[in-house]
């Protein structure tokens, strides 16, 4: 699915059984979400957000995203810390032209991201797709983390700490992207919340 010149989303049901991972795709109000995995506490979350029984994981993520974007009652990391289960998702908001990515902390679901030859960002759970699109300019998306356009990569488990990039080197000694880990010695600075856009500032503290 091509969303103008801003993004392209690809979703395949065919590999769902082979990988043993639930794969969902939803669209609400020009917000698109691809969700991998399961939320063990989905029923509790639906009650908390006042959502109907028909809501699945990808629909829930969209509703949670809209709540954060429009009202921002609490920081994004506090919402993600409430999610129990194995999960990874990519949200694209066509109106705001923003991407929101997050990956659970148990490592059962994997995402990769990289930079294609044309400079675009590629995100996929298929390593071969990433390799063919990004050559050596890719890395695993770090577990327990979130990324939002206009912000920065952050750990939702340790939101007060900065992320540290570690250069990846292949078997031939060539640099090929970077992995990221929480820097236990570097803290982020808190920022005042002013307006709905400020609610998406990843430097916010709980």
Q: Reduce the DSSP state of residue 191 to 3 states and report it.
A: coil
160-166-168 Cα angle (round to 5): 150
Q: What is the rounded average pLDDT of the residues 101-130?
A: 93
pLDDT recorded at residue 1? 45
Reported as a single tens digit per residue, the pLDDT across 13-31 is 655 444 578 999 999 999 9
pLDDT recorded at residue 19? 52
Query: Whole-angstrom Cα distance, residue 9 to residue 27?
Result: 12
Name the residue ranges covered by the structural domains of the chain.
Answer: 14-198
Q: What is the rounded average pLDDT of the residues 122-144?
A: 92
Reported as a single tens digit per residue, the pLDDT across 36-88 is 999 999 999 999 999 999 999 999 999 999 998 887 767 899 999 999 999 99
Share the mean pLDDT of the chain.
83
Whether 189 shows a pLDDT value over 60: the answer reads: yes
CB 139 within 8 A of CB 168: yes
Query: 14-198 adopts what CATH topology?
Result: 3.60.20
Q: What string of H, E and C letters represents the secondary structure of 113-167?
A: EEECCCCCEEEECCHHHHHHHHCCCEEECCCCEEEECCCCCEECCCCCEEEEEEE
Q: What residues have CB less than 8 Å from 97, skipping those under 6 apart?
A: 6, 149
Burial of residue 52 (number of CB atoms within 10 Å: 0-12, 13-18, 19+): exposed
């Amino acid at each position: 699915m091509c969303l103008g010149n801003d993004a392209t989303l690809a979703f395949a049901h065919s590999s769902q059984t082979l990988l043993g991972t639930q794969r969902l795709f939803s669209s609400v109000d020009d917000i698109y979400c691809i969700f991998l995995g399961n939320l063990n506490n989905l029923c509790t979350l639906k009650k908390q957000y006042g959502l109907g029984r028909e809501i699945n994981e990808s629909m829930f993520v969209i509703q949670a995203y809209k709540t954060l974007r429009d009202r921002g009652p609490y920081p994004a990391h506090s919402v993600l810390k409430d999610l129990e289960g194995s999960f990874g998702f990519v949200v694209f908001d066509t109106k705001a032209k923003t991407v929101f990515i997050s990956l659970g902390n148990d490592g059962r679901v994997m995402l990769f991201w990289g930079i294609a030859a044309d400079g675009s960002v590629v995100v996929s759970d298929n390593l071969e797709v990433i390799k063919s699109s990004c050559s050596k300019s890719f890395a695993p998306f770090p577990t327990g983390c979130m990324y939002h356009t206009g912000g920065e990569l952050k750990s939702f488990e340790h939101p007060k700490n900065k992320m540290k990039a570690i250069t990846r080197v292949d078997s031939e000694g060539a640099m090929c992207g970077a992995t990221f880990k929480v820097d236990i010695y570097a803290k982020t600075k808190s920022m005042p919340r002013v307006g709905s856009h400020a609610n998406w500032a990843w430097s916010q503290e709980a």
